[in-house]
Structure 1
Amino acid sequence: MGNGQTILCIGSVLWDIIGRAGGPMRLGNDVPGRITRLPGGVAMNIATGLARFGLTPVLLTAIGADADGEVLMAECRRLGLDTGHVTRDHGLPTDQYMAIESGEGLVAAIADAHSLEAAGDRILAPLENGTLGSADAPYCGLIALDGNLTEALLAEIATRPSFAAADLRVAPASPGKATRLRPLIGHPGASFYVNLEEAGLILGSVFTSASRAAEALVEAGLAQALVTDGARAAAEGTRGGIVTATPPRVVLARVTGAGDTFMAAHIAAQARGLTGEAALQTALDAAATYVSGEDPA
């Protein structure tokens, strides 16, 4: 378990609507399966993982002041997440994410995070007004940040004085949003958690291995880069060098949230004092447990 350390989780907290089929699917297929609705979003998934691993997540996000939002807030509290700084907006609905998964992985997904984008930097008010920090006394702890914020806001965060001292852990949310992270490469405490495709999109290149992608991200200016590549070796890059580890083989039962689980497990491992290959392998093991259908502990 972790040490109870507080970590701010900034980004999407919404309802996941996931349809899962046991076999392969092609465009236009109509197949039997299961449809579930559960709390999700990158920031939510990371926060839930962090709480499971013994840390104390604090949510900075926007949740609608509607019926869906009330239920979602209650679920967040039930899961041990601090909702005291969540922005509630009567004019915006609670966001949603819809995904179709087959036995081979993700088929397609749509993320409706328009309310989070519309709320903009209002969700960051506690880091500016002295509640959690300010420009004169910046927050100096761990922050998990997801790429569902607008490109303009992510670029602002890269240079905001209130974020200057943070240990900033960043996830792109999806390959389609990976390029939004480019301005954050210049942040002195930034760590990226990406897959091989996302690393290539961020740097405008093509990589054939996680280790080379992690090395290139650190060369570009990151303090730390974590790169996964499906069932192939993953890599952690820092200014001290590159380490790799291979995920265990498991039977795939779910996909959505696997990367977020990996990120939460790696942050928690480092909070416990693990480093390098040990922290990386711990995170890969947790992600493998998650995609097999179990909850890592």
Structure 2
Amino acid sequence: MTAQPDILCIGAVLWDIIGRSASHMERGSDVPGRITRLPGGVAMNIAMAAQRFGMRPALLTAVGRDPEGEELMKACARMGMDMRHAYRSEDLPTDRYMAVEGGNGLIAAIADAHSLEAAGGRILATLRDGTLGSAETPWEGRVALDGNLKTDLLREIALDPAFARADLRIAPASPGKAERLHVFLGHPSAVFYVNLEEAGLLCQTRFADSAEAARALHDRGAARAVVTDGGNAASDAGAHGLVTKRPRAVLVTRVTGAGDTFMAAHMAAEARGAAPEAAMETALTAAADYVSGDTNL
């Protein structure tokens, strides 16, 4: 693989272990279903989706040299992922994510991304040593940034001259980590992709809908805020004004990775020159196809 990437996906690449059941589930439920293990993580999910939408992603991440890590690297290679710039650790185990999904959505999930956090700035080496960029010649393409990174590293990225010309797109990874992204409020090129709950956490309030949330997050310092709300309308607020669109209704068969698919489709549409309204429509269609179980996504 020698082609120059057109987007860098920075963050978690790990094993997704997902249990899915068509049954409605509550605390203590014990139901039949399927358990799968696939390459995942926010950065990986965005990269896979970006590739499907015609982009050339490269991953900056940490993967252990343990058996699970070697297997993960081979699986990524089979999928055509550019892992040339991944930091390979001798002493950190490969990260994992575990989730349970029922017919009523996500029941619970645990993200074990401790190795990514421990690797810290070592995952950014090729953006600083001239391979992909440096302080003197910064990377000028898109960057999809995973909020699983530690707050100190996110703050470092927000101030790093190697990112000064990047089109920076940020995903919080989970509501529990959304507040880590405060360091990018006021950043001139940071685009926030958050759901309604995450927007509320960043603004320390609750919102009635995505339009209210997107406006408030933009007013609070986000250069641009793209806010989703499940099957309700999504909104995009920035210098272009406010765009709000409602996704089509679908039968939900899976949820893990839906936000990453939305984000990747939105970025790919804009890379092709789509205006904010068209990009939002494309992203909502892709996310609806994904959660409905489209086998091509």
Task: Quickly name the TM-score band, shorter chain normalised.
Answer: over 0.9
Distance 1:187 1:164 in 2: 10
User: Is the CA contact (8 Å cut-off) linking 1:144 and 1:169 kept in structure 2?
Assistant: yes
Partner of 2:51: 51
Q: How many Å separate the matches in 2 of 1:243 and 1:190?
A: 18
Match of 2:61 in 1: 61
TM-score by length of 1: 0.96
Give the structure 2 partner of residue 22 of structure 1. 22
Gaps of 5+ in 2: none
CA distance in 1, matches of 2:85, 2:276: 33
* Residue 79 (str. 1) matches residue 79 (str. 2): yes
Alignment RMSD (CA, Å)? 1.2
After TM superposition, give the deviation of residue 73 of structure 1 in Å: 1.1
1:243 aligns with 2:243: yes
How many pairs are equivalent?
A: 294
Q: Give the superposition deviation at 1:269.
A: 0.6
Matches of residues 140-151 of structure 1 in structure 2 within 5 Å? 140-151=140-151
Report the more deviating stretch, 19-28 or 191-200.
19-28
State how far apart, in whole Å, the 1-side matches of 2:142 and 2:296 are. 21
Alignment-mate amino acid for residue 193 of structure 2: Y
Mapped contact 2:186–2:223 kept (Cα < 8 A) = no
1:213–1:266 Cα change, 3 Å: same
Which residue is equivalent to 1:287? 287
Question: Contact between 2:5 and 2:58, CA under 8 Å: does it hold in 1?
Answer: no
CA contact (8 A) 1:227 1:236 kept: yes
The residue that corresponds to 1:120 in the other structure is: 120
**1:192 matched residue in structure 2:** 192
CA distance in 2, matches of 1:273, 1:239: 17
Counterpart of 2:269, as a letter, is A
1:219-248 deviation line (CA, Å, top 9, x unaligned): 122222110011111001111200111111
Please tell me whether residue 11 in structure 1 is matched to residue 30 in structure 2. Answer: no
**Residues 1:270 and 2:270 are matched in the alignment:** yes
How far apart in 1 are the matches of 2:121 and 2:281? Answer: 35
Distance (whole Å) between structure 2 residues aligned to residue 123 and residue 32 of structure 1: 39
Runs of 5+ in structure 1 lacking a partner? none
Partner of 2:168: 168
In structure 2, C-alpha distance between the alignment counterparts of 1:173 and 1:212, rounded to whole Å: 22
Identity %: 62
Find the counterpart in structure 1 of residue 156 from structure 2.
156
Q: Distance in 2 between matches of 1:156 and 1:295?
A: 39
Note if contact 1:158-1:186 (Cα within 8 Å) is conserved in structure 2. no
Query: Which aligned runs of 4 or more in structure 1 are off by greater than 3 angstroms?
Result: none
Q: Distance in 1 between matches of 2:220 and 2:240?
A: 14
